[in-house]
Amino acid sequence: MTRPVPAETEAVNADSFLDIVASIVSIMIIMVLMTGLKIRHAPVDAAELEQAPAADEDLSRELSDEQTLRHEVLALAGEIQNVQRQTLLRQGERDVLATTVRTLEIELEGAERPAAGEGPQDAALSGKLSDVRSRLAEIEQARKVVETAPAPAVQVESYPTPLGRTVDGREVHLQLRGGRIAFIPLEELLARFKSDAERKVHKLADASAFTETIGPEGGFRLRYTLERHEVTATESNRTGRAGTYIRLKQWTLIPVEENLGETIDEALAENSQFRQAVADRRARGATITCWTYPDSFDVFRRLKKELYRMDFAVAARPLPQGTPISGSPDGSKSTSE
C-alpha cells in the first residue's frame, strides 16, 4: 500500500520579513520625530522661567560662599604654619638658654671651689663669682619669661570676595594720596573730554596728534592726547579693521592742589564727602577703585574694611610716588576683590 506523499511546505519569504522590519523601524522613527517636534513647540512654563533667575542667584551665592570658605581654610592653614614656626623658635630659645644655664652652673661650681680654699683675700675671684651669679640669675629669669609667655594671638580677617576678578562694569574712582581720600569725578571729566574732542578733532587734518587739557572738575583737570592711528597688519588680522582711524592715545589726571579730599577719620565720619560719593545712585553695584600711593597704604587698609562692610567690591591700583593717574586704550583693567 503506497503512502501519500506530503505536500511541500512553502519556504519563508525573507524579503517580506525585511519589509515588515523596515516598516516598523520607519514608524518608530516617525513617532520619535513627532514627539521631538511636540516637545520643541510646547509652550514654556512661565513659573519655571520666573524661578530661573532665583535659581541662578542661589547658585552664584553658593559658589561665592564656597570660595569664601576655601579662602578662609587656606588662610587658617597659613596661620597654623606660622604658629608652628613660632613654637619651634621658642623651643630653640629655651634649648639655648638651658645650655647657657648649665654652662654657667659648671663655671660657678669651678669658681666656688678655689674661692672656698683661698679665703676672702682673693678679691678678683670673688668679683668673678659675683658676676657669674648675677648672669645666672638674669638668664634664669629670662628662661622663665620665655617658658611662661603665651602664644601670640592670631586674628584672621575674612572678606566677602576672596578671589580677584577683572572689573568690566561701572567703577567709582578714589585717589589715596598723602594720607587723604579724594573722590575722582572721572565720568564727568571723560564726558567733557568727548565734547571737547569733537570740537577740536579738525586739528588732526594737519597733525598726527594733539594734546588738550579740560577742567577743573571736582579738584582735577584731565589732559588728553588724540591721534591718527595707522592700523598695522597684526592689528588688522586681530580686529579686522584696516586703514587709519582717530583714537584716544592717553588721558592723565592733574590734581589742582596737594591736599585734596579728607583724612581717613574725616572720610569715615557721618555725612563726609566719601560717604556722599559712595551713597550716590551711580555707585550702586559699582566697584570702588582706589588709586593708592605708597604714603597711603595704611589708609587703604582701613578704607577697604569699611567698603567691604558696605558690600562694595574693591579694586586697588598702586602707583609709585609722583606718578599721575592715567589711562589708555592699551592699559590694563582693574582687578577687584
Domains: count for the chain: 3
Q: Output DSSP code: residue 68.
A: H
Say whether both 324 and 251 belong to one domain: yes
Write down the pLDDT at residue 254: 95
pLDDT tens readout for residues 290-316: 999 999 999 999 999 999 998 888 988
- Parent domain of 19: 14-43
| Inside any domain, residue 154 | no
Residue 9 pLDDT > 50:
no
pLDDT band at 84 (very low <50, low <70, confident <90, very high): confident
321 and 258 in a common domain: yes
- Check whether residue 173 and residue 290 sit in a common domain: yes
Give me the residue label for grid cell 519589509. 19
Q: Quick one: 276 and 129 in the same domain?
A: no
Both 73 and 189 in a single domain?
no
- The amino acid at residue 249 is K
Contacts of 89 (CB under 8 A, 6+ apart): none
**Is residue 233 domain-shared with residue 271, that is, in the same domain?**
yes
- The pLDDT, as a whole number, for residue 220 is 95
Kindly report whether the global pTM for this prediction surpasses the value 0.75. no
First CA to last CA across the chain, in angstroms? Answer: 109
Do 258 and 190 share a domain, yes or no? yes
Tell me the C-alpha to C-alpha distance, in Å, between residue 133 and each of 106, 113, 137, 194, 226: 12, 14, 6, 83, 81
Please list, in sequence order, all residues whose beta carbon lies within 8 angstroms of the beta carbon of residue 252, skipping any fewer than 6 positions away: 222, 223, 224, 324, 325, 326
Beta bridge partners of 176: 181, 292
Residue 113 lies in a domain: yes
**Domain endpoint, select from 148, 181, 209:** 148
**Each residue's pLDDT tens digit, 136-154:** 777 777 767 766 766 555 4
The reply to whether 83 and 182 lie within a common domain is: no
Mean pLDDT of 241-269: 90
Q: Which residues contact 255 (CB under 8 A, 6 or more apart)?
A: 175, 177, 182, 219, 220
What's the pLDDT score for residue 161? 46
Q: Do both 255 and 332 map to the same domain? A: yes
Same domain, 232 and 321: yes
What's the average model confidence in pLDDT over 229-246? 79
Does 189 lie in the same domain as 141?
no
What sign results for the dihedral spanned by CA atoms 101, 107, 112, 113? positive
The stretch 93-116 carries a mean pLDDT of: 65
